[in-house]
Structure 1
Amino acid sequence: MSTRRSARLAASESKTTIASPAPSAPSAQRGRKRKAGTDAEPNGRITTPPPPTPTPSNVKLMVEPAAPGVATPPSKKPRAAAVDRLADSDITLATLLSPETSRVVTSKKVRARSPEASPTKKPMRDVFAPKVSETANILEEGNKFLISVDPRMRPLVENNHCRIFSPEGLAERVDPFEALCSGIISQQVSGAAAKSIKKRFIDLFYEDEESQSEDEEDDENVKKRPFPVPSQVVDVPLEKLRTAGLSQRKAEYVSGLAEKFVAGELSAQILANAPYEEVIERLTAVRGLGLWSAEMFACFGLKRIDVFSLGDLGVQRGMAAFVGRDIAKLKSKGGKFKYMSEADMKDLSDQFKPYRSLFMWYMWRVEETDISTME
């Protein structure tokens, strides 16, 4: 998940978050020595880093619902979730599961009583401050806000359903340890390889059980076997972790992440309640998790509504197209910010506070939408 390159998304989202890219082609030289950090495809061939990618492909594996039976059943129309709590732009909106206990954790923002309340008056409803919206309505209200700031957002909003912040998406339970491990597994490999490696990683902790039928689909196998908890992972030697298809560095990263959870430096409760800056600081202190990885987890895993990544090339490219720049001409320009400067990205995105996560998500969709209607 460390790569910060994002290209035009090839397919529209199908009720999950964002589409996965096609697996990268295997190397033509079978005997070539593998570089550190690369992983093997399911067929045993070495995977080269996937082509310009896919912020989204890395994110998809990370945001799969945690634990069996807790995902919202698929439906043609988004269903209202059994969750309706006040939402602050600086707290976690996701319902988290404690990795070790599966205890449900939600943000416990300190409530402040309305100043109008007094002993002689009927107490008014406590509120979170600052209040953004109730979670059941946050997507609808966020979309209205984006359009009010810039009417060019309308076709993006009308043509793309952001499931992440929908009632359905917010009702899903996220195991932060599994989500972060999945992000590490996804680094520099194709979506198919990452999915296979994750399955084999989980299988390491069920070797004593009767093997599943070979005819059973991988997805079903993963769903039936809960993700290992941090205390289990720290007890497994790196050599054994590598048998799942992890590189040496990724094995170290996953083991190190588990140690952070076991030591209490990371937990579902901390991630639910900590201010955004603290969340980023704690995550980037983990080997294998850079700023971009932490931002993606904060947005897609913790479902914080006001996250924005200046370092994502796909977002930068989408923003440039959104304001009418010629992407084809800018493509050959050198430098990290070839489509739009960092300062311009910040100036534009700041207009959409406190819904920058939502704005960022739509920027990944710009090139899938007829932007001529925005002019």
Structure 2
Amino acid sequence: MREALIHLAHSEAKMANIIASVSLSEPQSSGDVYYDLLNSIVSQQLSTQVAVVIFNRFLKLFPGEYPHPRQLLALETEELRAVGLSRGKAQYMQNVAEFWLAENLETKNWDEMDDDAIVDYLSQIKGVGRWTVEMILIFTLQRPDVFPVDDLGVQQAMMLAYGLEKDRNLRKRMIEIAESWRPYRSTASRALWRWKHQVKK
């Protein structure tokens, strides 16, 4: 990550200031795409604290607290709803389990696919959108050059740091600014999230 921070510190002035003002640790990951997809679905539109409580309740439904695909598919929707999941999220999580079994992904080597191919592939699952897969790329697979342009936190941070307006040109301007961050846009995004959190305190 040191190489990424050095590159970003020399990419342009505003990102240099952001890098200087935040502390980023080396990201840790289980590398478990299936598990993290389920966790991401639970987290959608919920505060972090509430999402953690519901996901932990969900895990307790399974032996060893791991939701193996066949075990997840064996549960009734009402059993999933009883731990705090909405009907939609319960279905989306079972969609992930169904896809995992159908595609035989237990031993999938994700290194064989580039970022865009993974986005297209996993977005086939109903309930899994581009943003969710981008989070998997950044945090689970630790791909170095992912730029989640539709992420609200990244948008808000860049509006604040770069004086951008929330209009139809926002995404275009964000992508233009982020060009100088290549090939470390994942680290830049993490820095923006951290910086925004610090500024809003």
Fold equivalence (TM over 0.5): yes
Partner of 1:350: 179
Q: CA 1:351 to 1:358, structure 2 compared with 1: closer, same or farther past 3 Å?
A: same
Of residues 85, 95, 105, the one that matches 1:256 is: 95
Q: 1:256 & 1:228 partners in 2: Cα distance?
A: 13
Percent of paired sites with the same residue: 29
In structure 2, runs of 5+ residues without a counterpart are none
Q: Using the TM superposition, give the Cα deviation of residue 300 of structure 1 relative to its aligned residue in structure 2, in angstroms.
A: 1.6
Deviation digits for residues 5-37 of structure 1, max 9, x if unmatched? xxxxxxxxxxxxxxxxxxxxxxxxxxxxxxxxx
Q: CA 1:351 to 1:201, structure 2 compared with 1: closer, same or farther past 3 Å?
A: same
Q: CA RMSD in A?
A: 2.3
**TM-score normalised over the length of structure 1:** 0.49
> Moved runs in structure 1, 4+ residues, more than 3 A?
265-268, 337-340, 365-370
Secondary structure, counterpart of 1:173 in structure 2: coil
Q: CA 1:281 to 1:270, structure 2 compared with 1: closer, same or farther past 3 Å?
A: farther
Q: CA 1:284 to 1:263, structure 2 compared with 1: closer, same or farther past 3 Å?
A: same
Match status 1:144 vs 2:6? yes
Match status 1:200 vs 2:57? yes
Secondary structure, counterpart of 2:134 in structure 1: helix
Partner of 2:24: 162
Any conservation in 2 of the 1:176–1:268 contact (CA below 8 Å)? no
Of residues 176, 187, 193, the one that matches 2:44 is: 187
Q: CA 1:280 to 1:143, structure 2 compared with 1: closer, same or farther past 3 Å?
A: same
Q: Which has the higher helix share?
A: 2
Q: Which amino acid aligns with 2:55?
A: K
Q: 1:340 & 1:265 partners in 2: Cα distance?
A: 41
Q: Which amino acid aligns with 1:303?
A: Q
Q: CA 1:250 to 1:344, structure 2 compared with 1: closer, same or farther past 3 Å?
A: same
Q: 2:41 & 2:119 partners in 1: Cα distance?
A: 16
Q: 1:339 & 1:320 partners in 2: Cα distance?
A: 13
Deviation digits for residues 175-212 of structure 1, max 9, x if unmatched? 22111101111122222321221122111124xxxxxx
Deviation digits for residues 43-80 of structure 1, max 9, x if unmatched? xxxxxxxxxxxxxxxxxxxxxxxxxxxxxxxxxxxxxx
In structure 1, runs of 5+ residues without a counterpart are 1-138, 207-224, 331-336, 371-375
Partner of 1:311: 150
Any conservation in 1 of the 2:154–2:189 contact (CA below 8 Å)? yes
Partner of 1:361: 190
* Rg larger in structure: 1
